[in-house]
Structure 1
Amino acid sequence: MSSADVRGEAPDGARVPAGGSALDPAIAARLKRDADGLVCAVVQSRAGEVLMVGWMDDEALHRTLTTGRGTYWSRSRREYWVKGGTSGHVQHVHEVRLDCDGDAVLVVVDQEGPACHTGTRTCFDSDVLLAADDR
């Protein structure tokens, strides 16, 4: 493929066709994307613990569904990233659900190691704005 034929390059070197993703058209038709073509991905352990939030475009969702590894779009780096590709803290995807509005997906995973880049189990461990005891 020439550089004119690609939309981006994943950290693993895989190239994305400029014509779009290989995401099943029936799934793609149900997605309500933001202005950047993204949907919110809420990542949860199989035990029900919310681990993190990421962003997916059609290609990231396609890669997640076909590889069984959490794959996201980095809004800051403008590239795809596979969770655990650098850290080794891999997400083994067991289930992906579309919410009722089509603007978010729930990704249910087995998480190896911490989910957060700060080293904590979840990205929601540091700042508690309202605790159950506060009510």
Structure 2
Amino acid sequence: MLKTLLFPALLSIAIFTAPPKGTRWVGNANNGPEKNKISFVVSPDGQQLLALTFNGIWQGRDQLAPATGLATNALRIANGKVSGVLLASPTSRPRRFELLGDFARAATAATTFRMNLTEPGGTTRELCWTATPLR
């Protein structure tokens, strides 16, 4: 009987005290291959862009190739805009992410993205993207 009463109370406390989660945004590039996808997380306070991920096609040495990249650092969002360069995890290939973003409307974000190797090699070229939050 005590377990029956105690469990819902403890579960309610755990849910109430859990830190808020960020919002995952997903989108596509409107130029370049259709398969180019971008995703990221906006922190609960709306001040940081985290976990920037690109999954799509990029131009390698004279050929198109699939590419996936995850930036591990965060970019600051100020006045609804984000701009900066992130590097991929030191344990992966040396990738550089350049992102500009405008969160002028709460339902969409858009502007440009480029991912390339920090050494000469592949690039996505500059992609125009639009993303929306997952609900």
Q: Which one has the largest radius of gyration? A: 2
TM range (shorter): 0.3 to 0.5
Q: Which protein has the bigger strand share?
A: 2
> What TM-score do you get using the length of structure 1 for normalisation?
0.32
